[in-house]
Amino acid sequence: MKVLIADKFEQSGMDGLKAAGCDVVYQPDLADAALADGIRQTDAEVLVVRGTRVSEAMLDSGKLALVVRAGAGYNTIDVAAASRRGIYVSNCPGKNSIAVAELAFGLILALDRRIPDNVGELRAGKWNKKEYSKAKGLYGRTLGLLGVGNIGQEMVRRGQAFGMNIAVWSRRFADTGRAAHAAQEIGFDTSRHETTLEICDSPEAVAVRADVLSLHVALTPQTKGLLSARVLDRLKPGSYVVNTARAEVVDHEALARAVRDKGIRVALDVYANEPSSATGGFADPLVALPNVYGTHHIGASTDQAQEAIAAETVRIVRAYKESGHVPNVVNLCRTTPASHMLVVRHRDRPGVLAHVFDHLRAAQLNVQETENIIFEGAQAAVARINLDGAPSAQVLDTMQRGNEDILDLHLVAL
């Protein structure tokens, strides 16, 4: 199996793919038209990327069957186009959670102690202890989290370790019954009585309570612009905002107004107009404002995280190569359009299922899913065939009478 790696990737991952019997092509600088050409020229069946965008044209340029995003998100991949072509898209969720949480908490500390400004003035030969002795401190304050997936849960643990109260909003807790078990689900230690946990019913409710507001949601149509003017208006003056998630979940104009008008301090690792290459020029009006700090989209960029992601990528590709199954696949239907299941008990002989499928095709019925379970001794089997409609009684009768190896069949409405 040919695997094209079109981004920076750990040597341990390449060694693992080769050990799995893959022919690995490592071209980490491919992008845009060059990537489409690379897919075409290598005849790769598997494409591995990190931040590189994968467009519909690229998916059309070769014979890809699987795209692996060596990271948590997959918004840089045209998943809808992949689905139309029957190309699996998989990712590596949770493998960079600790790394991102570590950066997010580092940014919180930097905001509170104004560490970058301290360093800048010292390097300029200026001593200003009076100015930089004005930190608020984190103990006893409230860490507000929008999203408590893998990364958000790591933030809960770190917030508690600093003695912070936690306020969270997540769509997973829209069900009040589930919210009752939130502490256990997100890793909040209820034995630590000096800290509290509050499950909020909206981002606005979190903002009202938060001294520090940190975003940890995936980018979806529902979360785009989640940190809106309406949410920012509810923050206390002088609060902190940290975004290590996706740039698009923030209304940047509203955030800039909050910085100017309310003294909000901001730390960002993601931006609206990031360079497509690892180095280059950069300009963002938000970063130019006072009290705004930034890092270079490095949330997942620790050796530990990259090794874990490489190992997970190897596991995904190996599973696909050896079994045809894809772990962590993101673009399969949760429910199929199937309305009926045809159950066929038959002798395990050639041509039985081909006979069944011929009759289904003649009846203009589409097979959505199928499985064939073999009994011990491999003499008989049961096929379960999910269909988008119901065969008529006449079709079923003709089907059964037409092949003596069909022992029984019946239809189940789904």
Separation between Cα atoms, residue 157 and residue 149, nearest integer Å = 13
- Between 150-161 and 97-113, two packed helices, what is the crossing angle to 10 degrees? 40
- The token pair at 73 is 């998100």
Give, rounded to a whole angstrom, the gap between the first and last alpha carbons of the chain: 38
- The yes-or-no answer on residue 181 being catalytic is no
How far, in Å, CA of 338 to CA of 340, rounded?
6
Please tell me which residue in 157, 172, 257, 297 is annotated as part of the active site: 297
Q: Check if 84 is active-site.
A: no
d(CA 404, CA 407): 7
Longest dimension (CA), the chain: 95
State the catalytic residue, choosing from 248, 274, 340, 384.
Answer: 274
Catalytic residue of the set 216, 246, 252, 318: 246
Pairing of strands 197-199, 212-215: unpaired
Q: What residue type is assigned to position 237 of the chain?
A: P
Q: Which of these, 330, 314, 324, 305, lies nearest to 3 by C-alpha position?
A: 314
Does the active-site annotation cover 274?
yes
Under a CB-based contact definition with an 8 Å cutoff, are residues 44 and 23 in contact? no
CA–centroid distance for 167 within its chain: 23
Q: Which residues are catalytic?
A: 246, 274, 297
